Amino acid sequence: MAVRDRPAPEAVAVRPLPVVDRFPPVPVLLCGIVSIQFGAALAATLFDDLGPAGTSVLRLGFAAIILVVLWRPRVRGRDPHALRLVAVFGLALGLMNLTFYEALDRIPLGVAVTIEFAGPLGVAVFLSRRRLDLVWAALAAAGIVLLANPFGQSVDTVGLLLILAAAACWAAYILLAQRAGRHFSGSDGVALAMVVAALVPLAPGIAQGGGDLLRPEFLAIGAGIALLSSVIPYSLETEALRRLPAHVFGVLMSLEPAVAAIAGLLVLGQDLVARQVAAIALVVAASVGVSRTATPPPEA
């Protein structure tokens, strides 16, 4: 799955979208990247009122409703093993979103997204047998250490641990998405996983947000976050993936930390110092390197 807190293109059979199909795939994908990062920035504006977990409840809850209405996934008659798999898939998705939002409450958006990229980069390097990927892994690790800044004014410790947990969930999520794609056609697996994911932050979300979760203005913003963070990027990314080579798709997705930093600056007023900008550049370079030098899968 590409970032983070939305469905992964790897989890579904990609279908053409008649409206989006009229536009070139690169701008389509870039719009998806901008959508998800500005959706995360918008989510952070609710933290003071609802808390990160409360915001996660609205974001995942509305995303689940929208995806179920759109795809109407079938549960009856499914293989129990497939249902257990999609439940674990949803658990990883829910934990990824919850820990990401909790981390975002403590550290800047650009920093959070950059460190979270350790998840997919780790999967790529772990599954690779090429020595060159160890160079990209070292480059990414250097960027993350530079962000943590252990010898100076470091990133909030709790925030750092939470975003590393989100990265681990993202890694698990990628692997689970690939397996789920073998059992579910279309978007059924993602829709069912999102229902499970929406249950993960429910208890802490109610504790943090309470009755404010039902206020109309917060419900409206929550629906907007679900659209920006799930439905729109999911649709645009799957359409782009249908028409782009995998390595080009990966390179463009590597721009997410930089876009996140811009969203954090414009929406949340989060300035980054030169050290943080350099660290983000290192991780972006590592992600681009892994994507461009990845060995293509064998032809069927």
CB-based contacts of 187, cutoff 8 Å, min separation 6: 7, 12, 67, 70, 71, 73
Residue position matching structure tokens 């463009």: 252
**What is the predicted pLDDT for the residue at 71?**
85
CB atoms within 10 A of CB 271: 11
Q: Is 49 within the bounds of a domain?
A: yes
Q: Tokens 């414009």 label which residue?
A: 266
* Domain-embedded: residue 1: no
Q: What is the dihedral of CA 242, 247, 250, 252, to 10 degrees?
A: -90
Please give the pLDDT value at position 294.
57
What's the total number of domains in the chain? 1
**257 lies in some domain:** yes
In whole angstroms, what is the distance from residue 242 CA to residue 183 CA?
A: 20
Backbone phi and psi for residue 19, each to the nearest 5 degrees, phi listed first: -75, -50
Q: Decide if 13 is inside a domain.
A: no
In a domain, 195, yes or no: yes
CB atoms within 10 A of CB 72: 10
Percent of the chain having pLDDT more than 90?
53
Contact 280, 143 (CB under 8 A): yes
Sign of the C-alpha dihedral computed for residues 181, 187, 191 and 197 taken in this order: positive
Residue 14 counted as domain residue: no
Helix (H, G, I), strand (E, B) or coil at 57: helix
Close Cβ partners of 152 (under 8 Å, ≥ 6 residues apart): none
Query: Does the structure show a pLDDT above 70 at 50?
Result: yes
For the chain, what is the mean pLDDT?
86
Q: Is the CB of residue 285 less than 8 Å from the CB of residue 135?
A: no
**Strand, helix or coil for residue 246:** helix
297 near 245, Cβ under 8 Å?
no
Judge whether 90 lies within some domain.
yes
> Residue 164: which domain range?
27-293
Q: Compute the distance between CA of residue 61 and CA of residue 64 in angstroms, rounded to an integer.
A: 5
Name the pTM for this structure.
0.88
pLDDT band at 19 (very low <50, low <70, confident <90, very high): low
pLDDT digits (tens, 9 = 90+) for 53-112: 999 999 999 999 999 998 888 888 888 998 999 999 999 999 999 999 999 999 999 999
> Could you tell me if residue 298 is inside a domain?
no
Write the pLDDT tens digit of every residue in 226-279: 999 988 988 888 778 778 887 788 888 889 999 999 999 999 999 999 999 999
User: For 165-190, how does the pLDDT look when each residue is reduced to its tens digit (9 = 90+)?
Assistant: 999 999 998 888 888 878 877 678 88
First to last CA, the chain: 22
Q: Which two tokens stand for residue 165?
A: 């947990």
